[in-house]
Amino acid sequence: MKTSLILTAIGADKPGLVELLSTTLAEHRANWQQSSMSRLAGQFAGILIASVDNDKVESLLKALDGLSTQGLTVSVVTESGSIDEPKGQSLTLELIGHDKPGIVRDISRALASRKVSVEELATEVVSGSMSAELLFKAKASLIVPQGVDLDDLQDSLEAIASDLMVDITLD
């Protein structure tokens, strides 16, 4: 039998961190299945799913914990049973506007109140092309459950966009 592990890893960015993590997994015959990794503010941050034989779980967990001596902190959660994937319509939300606190909070609140799942979220702050003003950009992949009124969702997001003075598109 195999155990699925969900790992999060963070450390000061430097060459070789992915190799360090992948070597540790390979040494314990763990299978790297899915991941998302980024460099943010000088830090390496990643999340991944790996599967490993049940009899190798404990030794792998010890080895992953030992990576902290090399600058990589790894947290592990054991996947418990089957996870129901959200069902519904896939939509993409894109946002751009002047950077200010609270944008993600307000948008995520509107989505959560309608049980909309955020499958993926990417954000960045960039310099405006015509000015030196900072612009906040976001792109999110969403799963909207059946029964959610898409017009109501659109109206809610447009009201927030108006309050925050940002542009939001929902496709």
The domain segmentation of the chain, as residue ranges, is 2-78, 89-170
What's the rounded Cα separation, in Å, for the pair 125 and 96?
Answer: 10
Domain 2-78 fold is Alpha-Beta Plaits (3.30.70)
Identify the CA nearest to 142 among candidates 106, 92, 94. 92
Structure tokens at 116: 């909309």
Q: Is it the case that residue 110 has pLDDT exceeding 90? A: yes
- Mean pLDDT, the chain, rounded, equals 92
Q: What is the pLDDT of residue 82?
A: 58
Same fold, 2-78 and 89-170: yes
What's the rounded Cα separation, in Å, for the pair 31 and 53?
Answer: 9
Q: Write the pLDDT tens digit of every residue in 24-58.
A: 999 999 999 999 999 999 999 999 999 999 999 99
Give the DSSP H or E segment for 73.
strand 73-78
Identify the CA nearest to 5 among candidates 36, 45, 51. 51
In angstroms, the first-to-last Cα distance of the chain is 42
Q: What is the pLDDT of residue 75?
A: 97
What's the rounded Cα separation, in Å, for the pair 72 and 15?
Answer: 12
Q: Is it the case that residue 79 has pLDDT exceeding 90? A: no
Query: Residue 129: which pLDDT band, with cuts at 50, 70 and 90?
Result: confident
Q: Is it the case that residue 127 has pLDDT exceeding 90? A: no
* 89-170: in CATH 3.30.70.260: yes
Q: What is the pLDDT of residue 128?
A: 78
